[in-house]
Structure 1
């Protein structure tokens, strides 16, 4: 179970919008007519980061706009790495990131934060990572971690390779060359994908998980949308992306224990539920160390937790109040239900949402 708390989370939610999309916001509550008239919030709040959060951020910002006409929210889905860099430099008030801040990042300064204070990681969106593919004549695909790692490392190069055929008995696999599409930008989705392969198939995927794709193989594409477009428009293509963006593409089942498991929000959430918090963090830092090696077929371990990274104390107190209002809304019951509708996510558990709310109360 997650340390320092019992219980778990059932789900997913959240994502980014077109760069510098303007909208206004609501304080940790569903937007209503009375909220509109009561809102006294004013100002502009800018964030950047995970493109996986796209659909949910779109919905959240629209709801925020309806409820708080005096507030403008901008979110640039530039990727997790770029978002963290912008936040560290003080260019944005919060970052969306599919990986938590590293120890090295936590040891530095944060431009938007008050001197001698730190940033914290707040889970906002939990999602399966889908292995998407586009292979003529192939509607279903089973892959284990070692075979998936070999495909993206470039050592398996055709779709009728014996390793793939052995996992897909009876399937008619073409001799088409494989084009494995990865993120060309620094991406928390890549880091989560690599972390899964490194932990489950370390003999094949021997690179340390990082936001940058580690091997000089395959085809690179910018952002989640770039990967999805490349897989959709290519021939014999395979890639990885937030499941909310899989669309009509084929999605592979991955081997968990002795079974092949399709992604679902519930199966992804089950992994998070039984994973511990990262040790050695600030009390209000809720970074999760995901258990990738589960053999329970009710779990889908190729999962990401996307965070809102915020200051524990802001140099500009007005920005702190806007952050508390906006992140409070998107992690509230109403915000999570909005994301579930727009991005196919399951809500944060009551326990996890409560921990986030407690952390936000301490933000200054």
Structure 2
């Protein structure tokens, strides 16, 4: 499929992004960003905003819709500071982003899961003398959003979430949900569960959580393709959020930024701690801080398994980290300066500071330090 890119940066208020219902129609639809006329700066050197501009021209990228709102904010800030640059990030899915990158279409891809061994091997065809690596950049909670009249403080746990998305719990007044919400008035409304239609790192991360924290109730291996029984599908995180927003009795999963932008109520998660954990940037950061780097060489892929069964106070257990996938060596000489400059900004303190207000979680300091070093080493 030939994917089109368009020009014209959309106006954006950080943390609030217009979500179009048209995104629900197809997994191949695009949601592109590119530059408007920047304000003032120099093509190279530090701008008045503190962003170090290096390189000119256009940088193409695509992939994860989970980081769309963060990427929108970063692109707007970078292009405003760096005259003569266009960062075109086409929102599709993690799977499509990796495909585009390995076909040599894009300078980097966004993915909510690390490269699989076969994908890393394939990347060597476009990374001359090098390989594709995983660079963590965006952290955040996967919110369980719901739309249920009269219920505003819902608590769920791993088992009930697994059963809901596997069609084992089909009514909102099911005894398992009642047990977690003894003071709530739960209606007998049928549960309308929405999941991702396209292959998604968001699905992969959610099912990693379910397969670890509720293994008996989620008998499927984690995967980017949704494997649960029943339910309804929608394209991209924005599509799932749109369906939950407009459907009474609905429940779905998406990044917190989509819940925030659409004013969707999110469930708290009972983990065994003294109180259920709310989906917030700070609570997600508490979980991600326990992640371990398991990649080798320049690769910084993370193991998040310790967050799934955490009982630490205020630690939200359903998290994801979106990686920017780039070549460690063999990047195109024509775009390498701009690639490093842009990723240097996104990994910087200023870039990471934008994440909390957009519903994401900044990288913990230890991981962020490693990311900045890796970006500097790209060649």
Q: Which runs of 5+ in 1 are unaligned?
A: 1-12
Q: 1:310 aligns with which of 319, 326, 333?
A: 326
Q: What secondary structure is seen at the aligned counterpart in 2 of 1:136?
A: coil
Matches within 5 A, 1:331-346: 331-341=347-357, 343-346=358-361
**Structure 1 residues 317, 52: closer, same or farther in 2, change over 3 A?**
same
In 2, the alpha carbon distance for the partners of 1:79 and 1:302 equals 19
Q: Contact (CA 8 Å) 2:165, 2:229: kept in 1 or not?
A: no
In 2, the alpha carbon distance for the partners of 1:260 and 1:33 equals 40
Structure 2 match to 1:177: 190
Structure 1 match to 2:172: 159
2:265 counterpart of 1:250: yes
Structure 1 match to 2:112: 98
Q: Contact (CA 8 Å) 1:92, 1:112: kept in 2 or not?
A: no
Please give the TM-score of this superposition, normalised by the length of structure 1. 0.88
Structure 2 match to 1:328: 344
Please give the TM-score of this superposition, normalised by the length of structure 2. 0.85
In 2, the alpha carbon distance for the partners of 1:224 and 1:29 equals 36
2:371 counterpart of 1:356: yes
**Structure 1 residues 162, 282: closer, same or farther in 2, change over 3 A?**
same
CA offset at residue 227 of structure 1? 0.6
Q: Contact (CA 8 Å) 1:227, 1:239: kept in 2 or not?
A: yes
Q: 2:296 aligns with which of 251, 272, 282?
A: 282
Q: What secondary structure is seen at the aligned counterpart in 1 of 2:292?
A: coil
In 1, the alpha carbon distance for the partners of 2:183 and 2:363 equals 40
In 1, the alpha carbon distance for the partners of 2:86 and 2:183 equals 55
Structure 2 match to 1:107: 121
In 1, the alpha carbon distance for the partners of 2:202 and 2:44 equals 27
2:37 counterpart of 1:22: no
CA offset at residue 151 of structure 1? 0.2
Q: Which runs of 5+ in 2 are unaligned?
A: 1-14, 20-29
2:98 counterpart of 1:84: yes
Q: 1:204 aligns with which of 217, 220, 224?
A: 217
CA offset at residue 66 of structure 1? 1.4
2:261 counterpart of 1:261: no
Structure 1 match to 2:142: 129
CA offset at residue 93 of structure 1? 1.0
Q: Contact (CA 8 Å) 2:143, 2:253: kept in 1 or not?
A: yes
Q: 2:68 aligns with which of 54, 57, 75?
A: 54
CA offset at residue 39 of structure 1? 4.8
> Residue by residue, what CA displacement relative to the aligned partner does 1:284-343 show, whole Å, maximum 9, x if unpaired?
1111100111122331110011111111123521222221111111111111123333x1
Q: What secondary structure is seen at the aligned counterpart in 1 of 2:169?
A: coil
Q: What secondary structure is seen at the aligned counterpart in 2 of 1:124?
A: strand
**Structure 1 residues 39, 308: closer, same or farther in 2, change over 3 A?**
closer
In 1, the alpha carbon distance for the partners of 2:324 and 2:91 equals 13
In 2, the alpha carbon distance for the partners of 1:126 and 1:48 equals 18
Q: Contact (CA 8 Å) 1:28, 1:325: kept in 2 or not?
A: no
**Structure 1 residues 133, 30: closer, same or farther in 2, change over 3 A?**
farther
2:272 counterpart of 1:272: no
In 2, the alpha carbon distance for the partners of 1:139 and 1:274 equals 30
Q: What secondary structure is seen at the aligned counterpart in 2 of 1:317?
A: coil
CA offset at residue 103 of structure 1? 2.2
How many residues are treated as equivalent by the alignment?
344
Q: What secondary structure is seen at the aligned counterpart in 2 of 1:261?
A: coil
Structure 2 match to 1:139: 152
